[in-house]
């Protein structure tokens, strides 16, 4: 009788132990699943935050950039000479041009007298992005040809070259100013009293042009 009771008690204990272990295992599995899910969510959130940080870093490290606005064509006309002694100024023309690399503004005018002398002056504003039309010629001047003699031109605000035929008093002067503007002057039958092509540059207030262009910078 006692052995039967002991046997029943032992079996009950074993059953309880097995049931408890099974429950523990189930709890452990549940805990593992919860942990796995939590880790997964935390990992995604952490990655997302890290990505946001990475994307925000450039914003914190950004340096102030300068945007250059080309001088308005009509405003650029104001820097063309209004008077050249002995010459009549014709209505100027101006506009904005584009290519694959950038845009630029231009203003030009023709001047003439009653002795068949002609002058054309053009001013270009290329901005400050490094692209200048014909820039190579400002570093290496074109060679002499049969009609024109080439000569380097150095100015306080820039550099360039001129081509000149003294006998016919014709030629051109082409200069780069402040790595931004170019000024091109072409003449036919230049009067003796105007001396040289360089003297024609004196009719353009280059310093005012530079100052005005600097006001068009946006930081």
Cα separation of 107 and 120, whole Å?
A: 11
Return the DSSP state at 219.
-
Question: Same structural domain for residues 85 and 186?
Answer: yes
Half-sphere exposure in the Cβ direction for 83 (13 Å, CA) = 2
Show which of 14, 46, 62 is a domain's final residue.
62
Per-residue pLDDT at 63: 46
What's the N-to-C CA distance of the chain in angstroms?
A: 102
Q: Is the pLDDT of residue 119 over 70?
A: yes
Cα separation of 89 and 80, whole Å?
A: 10
Per residue in 20-67, pLDDT (tens digit) is: 544 444 544 543 444 444 444 434 333 333 333 222 323 334 444 556
Question: Per-residue confidence at 218, pLDDT binned at 50, 70, 90?
Answer: low
Per-residue pLDDT at 132: 82
Per-residue pLDDT at 207: 96
Half-sphere exposure in the Cβ direction for 161 (13 Å, CA) = 17
Question: Per-residue confidence at 130, pLDDT binned at 50, 70, 90?
Answer: low
Report how many domains make up the chain. 2
Question: Per-residue confidence at 161, pLDDT binned at 50, 70, 90?
Answer: very high
Question: Same structural domain for residues 122 and 199?
Answer: yes
Give residue for tokens 């200069």: 175
Question: Same structural domain for residues 46 and 74?
Answer: no
101 Cβ contact partners less than 8 Å away, ≥ 6 residues apart: 129, 131
Question: Same structural domain for residues 35 and 97?
Answer: no
As a whole number, mean pLDDT of residues 143-155 equals: 87
Cα separation of 28 and 30, whole Å?
A: 5
Question: Same structural domain for residues 40 and 92?
Answer: no
Question: Same structural domain for residues 87 and 141?
Answer: yes
**What is the total residue count of the chain?**
219
Show which of 46, 62, 78 is a domain's final residue.
62
Q: What is the Cα 65 distance to its own chain's centre?
A: 9
Which H or E run contains 133?
none
Per-residue pLDDT at 154: 92
Question: Same structural domain for residues 91 and 180?
Answer: yes
In the beta sheet, which residues pair with residue 110? 120
CA-closest candidate to residue 174, choices 109, 119, 121? 121
Per residue in 58-111, pLDDT (tens digit) is: 333 444 455 668 899 999 999 999 999 999 999 999 999 887 777 899 999 999
Token representation of residue 211:
């100052």
CATH no. for residue 203? 3.40.1000
Cα separation of 1 and 7, whole Å?
A: 10
Q: Which domain holds residue 40?
A: 1-62
Per residue in 163-177, pLDDT (tens digit) is: 999 999 999 999 999
Question: Same structural domain for residues 48 and 139?
Answer: no
């Amino acid at each position: 009788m006692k052995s039967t009771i002991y046997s029943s008690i032992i079996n009950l204990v074993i059953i309880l132990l097995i049931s408890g272990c099974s429950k523990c295992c189930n709890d452990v599995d549940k805990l593992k699943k919860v942990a796995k899910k939590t880790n997964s969510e935390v990992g995604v959130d952490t990655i997302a935050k890290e990505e946001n940080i990475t994307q925000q870093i450039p914003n914190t490290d950004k340096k102030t950039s300068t945007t250059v606005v080309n001088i308005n064509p009509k405003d650029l006309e104001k820097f063309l000479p209004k008077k050249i002694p002995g010459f009549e100024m014709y209505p100027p023309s101006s506009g904005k041009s584009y290519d694959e690399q950038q845009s630029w503004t231009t203003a030009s005018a023709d001047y003439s007298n009653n002795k068949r002398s002609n002058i054309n002056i053009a001013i270009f504003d290329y901005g400050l992005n490094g692209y200048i039309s014909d820039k190579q010629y400002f570093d290496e001047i074109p060679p002499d040809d049969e009609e024109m003699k080439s000569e380097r031109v150095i100015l306080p605000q820039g550099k360039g070259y001129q081509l000149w035929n003294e006998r016919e008093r014709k030629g051109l002067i082409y200069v780069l100013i402040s790595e931004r503007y170019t000024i091109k002057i072409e003449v036919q039958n230049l009067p003796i009293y105007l001396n040289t092509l360089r003297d024609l540059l004196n009719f353009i207030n280059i310093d005012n042009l530079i100052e005005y262009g600097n006001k068009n910078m946006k930081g």
